Amino acid sequence: MAWSIAQVARMSKVTSRTLRHYDEIGLLPPAWVGDNGYRFYEQEQLLRLQQILVLRSLGLGLDTIAEIVREGRDQAAVLRLHHRWLLAERDRFDRLARTVSRTITDVEAGKEMTKKSAEHWFDGFDAGQQEKLREEARERWGAEQVDAANAEITAKGADWWAEHGQEWVNILDALVGHLDAGRAPTDPAVQETVDRHYHWIKGGHWTPNRESYTGLGDLYADDPRFRANFDKTDPRLADYFRMAMAEYAQTRLN
């Protein structure tokens, strides 16, 4: 059985224009094209479309999805990882919802805020999320190395943090400038900006090797938490940065 592009668009709530774009980039070719130029899809294509939509809902970019669906990347492993992130985000929002609910109760009751009662107004904000990221880093790159880096960073003063944060902003601005100028991730000027990023990372007392620096680029683009922040700067940035970092790792790191 075959479905026309219009029928698939209605079923999936995806526009025909998006389906044509997926075909043009090789992500979702139709089963066949009629003499009139209309695209038709069969069960295999519908299953792939479902896969694409699931991965998109998890925050993955089209380049990453293409690797998964075309190049045999372990879909189950990727889904399990993102499932853990989604569950963690669900738990965090549950904590925030409970915090706001208690606050509404206190405000409506005209309850006077004391030092002790005020503490719960901020339950579930940043501490748990930071700890989760730290644990993921320990699993990914080794507990000893991450703990040592954290210890050194914790000892830094306010001036260092301000300077370090400004350099990060400058790096992102430079990358957006490269994007606007149409420079490829492999362009020498782009690679010099990535070199600044690499040394910025080293300034936090972690020296990535080829594998871990490539993995960091994947984390920037694949992790919905990181990607959301990159997208706020420029929706093109996460995937572009990932490709530039992979090139840097391949050509400059051991």
Total structural domains within the chain: 2
**pTM higher than 0.85, yes or no?**
no
Residue 133 lies in a domain: no
SS3 4: strand
CATH of the domain at 15: 1.10.1660.10
> For 230-234, what is the mean pLDDT?
83
Range(s) of the domain holding residue 22: 3-57
Burial of 29 from C-beta contacts in 10 A (0-12 / 13-18 / 19+):
middle
Amino acid at 183: R
- pLDDT band for position 160 (50/70/90)? low
Those residues with Cβ within 8 angstroms of residue 88's Cβ, 6 or more apart along the chain or in another chain:
132
Q: Does a structural domain hold residue 95?
A: no
Give residue 192's pLDDT. 96
Q: Span 136-152, mean pLDDT?
A: 56
* Cβ pair 52, 26 in contact under 8 A: no
| CATH classification of the domain holding 240 | 1.10.490.50
75-108 and 224-233 are packed helices; what angle lies between their axes, rounded to 10 degrees? 80
Q: Flag whether 219 is in a domain.
A: yes
- Domain for residue 147, yes or no? no
Considering only 6-10, 94-98, 146-150, which range has the smallest mean pLDDT?
146-150
Hey, what long-range contacts does 148-151 have (CB within 8 A, 24 or more apart)?
A: 148/205, 149/204, 149/205, 149/206
Question: What is the arithmetic mean of pLDDT over 36-62?
Answer: 82
Task: Answer yes or no: is pLDDT of 116 > 50.
Answer: no
Type of residue found at 219:
L
Give the Cα separation of 208 and 216 in Å (integer). 9
Does 81 fall in a domain? no
What local confidence, expressed as pLDDT, does residue 216 receive?
87
Q: Are 60 and 20 in contact (CB under 8 A)?
A: no
| Domain membership flag for residue 248 | yes
Q: 55-64, 114-123, 149-158, 224-233 — which is least confidently predicted?
A: 114-123
Report the pLDDT value the prediction gives residue 250, as an integer from 0 to 100: 93
Give domain status of residue 203, yes or no. yes
Residues sharing a CB contact under 8 Å with residue 107, sequence separation 6 or more, in sequence order? none
Is residue 85 assigned to a domain?
no
**Residue pLDDT, tens place only, 164-191:** 677 888 898 899 999 999 999 999 999 9
What is the structure's pLDDT at 90? 72
Sorted by sequence, the CB contacts under 8 Å of residue 37 that are 6+ apart come out as: none
Q: Is the pLDDT of residue 31 over 90?
A: yes
